[in-house]
Amino acid sequence: MALCSDEFRVAVLIPCYNEAVTIGQVVADFRAALPAARIFVYDNNSTDDTVTRASDAGAIVRVERRQGKGHVVCRMFADIEADAYVLVDGDGTYDAADSAAMVSELMTQRLDMVTGTRIETVRESYRRGHRLGNWMLTGLVRAIFGSGVADMLSGYRVFSRRFIKSFPALSTGFEIETQFTIHALELAMPMAEVMTRYRERPHGSASKLRTYRDGFRILRTIVVLVKDERPLRFFMSGAALALIIGLILGLPVVSEFMHTGAVPRLPTAILATALVGVGCLSAVCGLVMDAVQRGRKEAKRLAYLAVRAPGNGE
């Protein structure tokens, strides 16, 4: 099957904010790699010539006024109809030549997500804080949700239509990549990785990613997704902690009461009782939320299965 034909449509999605230095070349590179694909550039309130240069390069240019990459991706997924979606940043750091192999992998193996795992071409292409943060956050997700991808924060991915149309785009910023990975892992979607070269940004182009601010937002997203997708583990962990502390504080008070009939440390007794109560309440919340989450997961799975798999007409 051809990578792009009347039967199989490919769309390249490029979210942009002030990428005038690179966007023209990015569009040209993807036009060469996927000649029949439609290339969409969604501008996110750029103050430079991003829109003009993207249009001059032949891209279909649209605008999303709500600031943040998550908002742009949500708009793209809602607006565009295709069978395979190539999502890539407009900063010129990813190799467009690898997109054909990624789309081919998606089609031939009938996958739902192919991640472009980054290989640095020069040491300076990846800031030390970003490298460490990616390693830590990816390891955390792998430990909680299971092994899936080696480069969770890669901005270069290919998705099937059924991934796109079942994806609950709730993030507003760079934490959207974390949500991609966890969504695929939670629904046990077939996915793969393709190694791709990662280049340094060209002179005059500045990264929009802020190491500490965005790292904290990604970590917060992981915690929220653990609560939503693994509520039993989340609430039971809190219940166990509260119960352990409550018992440590309360057992000496109970022992003293059994021997003397007095409760000289009343504040400690009240605190221990409150902690045990909180622990029991947290455990009940975990059981209830786990039942609710199973229903939500089943509904998402049915929405996912309602769209045919990529790569054939069956």
**Is position 309 within any domain?**
no
* Two structure tokens written together for 145: 């949700």
My answer on whether 191 and 112 are in the same domain is yes
Q: What is the CATH number of the domain that holds 117?
A: 3.90.550.10
**Is position 3 within any domain?**
no
**Is position 314 within any domain?**
no
Long-range interactions of 223-231: CB distance < 8 A, separation 24+: 225/178, 225/179, 225/182, 226/144, 228/293, 229/145, 229/182, 229/186, 229/293, 229/297, 230/144, 230/145, 231/285, 231/286, 231/289, 231/290, 231/292, 231/293
My answer on whether 197 and 248 are in the same domain is no
Using pLDDT thresholds of 50, 70 and 90, give the confidence band for residue 132: low
Domain closes at, from 200, 229, 258? 229
> What is the pLDDT averaged over residues 170-198?
84
My answer on whether 237 and 137 are in the same domain is no
Domain enclosing residue 262, as ranges:
231-304
My answer on whether 189 and 293 are in the same domain is no
Q: Which of 58-62, 189-193, 236-240, 298-302 has the lowest mean pLDDT?
A: 298-302
Q: Please return the burial class of 302, using the count of CB atoms within 10 Å of its CB with bins 0-12, 13-18 and 19+.
A: exposed
Instruction: Tell me what pLDDT residue 210 has.
Output: 62
Query: Given a cut of 60, is residue 149 above it in pLDDT?
Result: yes
My answer on whether 60 and 29 are in the same domain is yes
Percent of the chain with pLDDT over 70: 84
Q: Which of 59-63, 262-266, 293-297 has the highest mean pLDDT?
A: 59-63
My answer on whether 105 and 238 are in the same domain is no
Q: For residues 243 and 272, what is the distance between their CA atoms, to the nearest angstrom?
A: 9
CB neighbourhood size of 219 (10 A): 16
**Is position 183 within any domain?**
yes
Domain closes at, from 229, 245, 265? 229
**Is position 93 within any domain?**
yes
Instruction: Tell me what pLDDT residue 211 has.
Output: 60
pLDDT tens digit sequence for 241-286: 999 999 999 998 888 888 888 878 888 999 999 999 999 999 999 9
> What is the pLDDT averaged over residues 86-97?
93
> What is the pLDDT averaged over residues 189-198?
91
Q: For residues 162 and 85, what is the distance between their CA atoms, to the nearest angstrom?
A: 11
My answer on whether 56 and 158 are in the same domain is yes
Percent of the chain with pLDDT over 90: 48
DSSP secondary structure string for all residues of 129-170: HHHHHHHHHHHHHHHHH-S--S-TT-S-EEEEHHHHTT----
For residue 86, the surrounding DSSP H or E stretch is: strand 84-87
My answer on whether 76 and 107 are in the same domain is yes
My answer on whether 193 and 51 are in the same domain is yes
Q: How many domains does the chain have?
A: 2
pTM above 0.85, yes or no: no
Query: Given a cut of 70, is residue 114 above it in pLDDT?
Result: yes
Query: Given a cut of 70, is residue 4 above it in pLDDT?
Result: no
**Is position 103 within any domain?**
yes
* Two structure tokens written together for 246: 């409550």
My answer on whether 280 and 216 are in the same domain is no
Instruction: Tell me what pLDDT residue 1 has.
Output: 46
**Is position 66 within any domain?**
yes
* Strand partners for 40: 13, 60
Domain closes at, from 210, 229, 248? 229
* Strand partners for 193: 115
Q: For residues 84 and 177, what is the distance between their CA atoms, to the nearest angstrom?
A: 17
Q: Please return the burial class of 89, using the count of CB atoms within 10 Å of its CB with bins 0-12, 13-18 and 19+.
A: buried
Instruction: Tell me what pLDDT residue 256 has.
Output: 87
My answer on whether 47 and 189 are in the same domain is yes
> What is the CA angle 224-208-125, rounded to 5?
105
Residue 227 corresponds to which amino acid? K
My answer on whether 253 and 200 are in the same domain is no
Question: Which residue is associated with the tokens 């300076």?
Answer: 124
**Is position 27 within any domain?**
yes
CA distances from 257 to 246, 248, 269, 272 (A): 16, 15, 11, 14
Q: For residues 91 and 200, what is the distance between their CA atoms, to the nearest angstrom?
A: 9
CB 144 within 8 A of CB 227: no
Instruction: Tell me what pLDDT residue 5 has.
Output: 55
- What's the whole-number average pLDDT of the chain? 85
